[in-house]
Amino acid sequence: MDIKYCPDLTGYEEVKAAFVGHGDFTRPILRECIKETCAAYKEGYCEKYHNKVEDKP
């Protein structure tokens, strides 16, 4: 089973360039749904985003 990532838990990390001229960039940090700990989670369904939390293969 694949657990979906939660948009509310997504963050960003700034990465500085190692050498001059290569430029800095921002890397997304994706975190999975926290399920029962979340107030919007109910029986495998996210009520905030109106979708199932787990995908069955």
Segment 7-26 shows an average pLDDT of 90
Q: What digits encode the pLDDT tens for the residues 38-47?
A: 999 999 999 9
* Whole-Å CA distances, 23 to 7, 12, 19, 28, 48: 27, 16, 8, 17, 37
Segment 5-14 shows an average pLDDT of 94
Answer whether residue 11 shows pLDDT above 90: yes
Answer whether residue 9 shows pLDDT above 90: yes
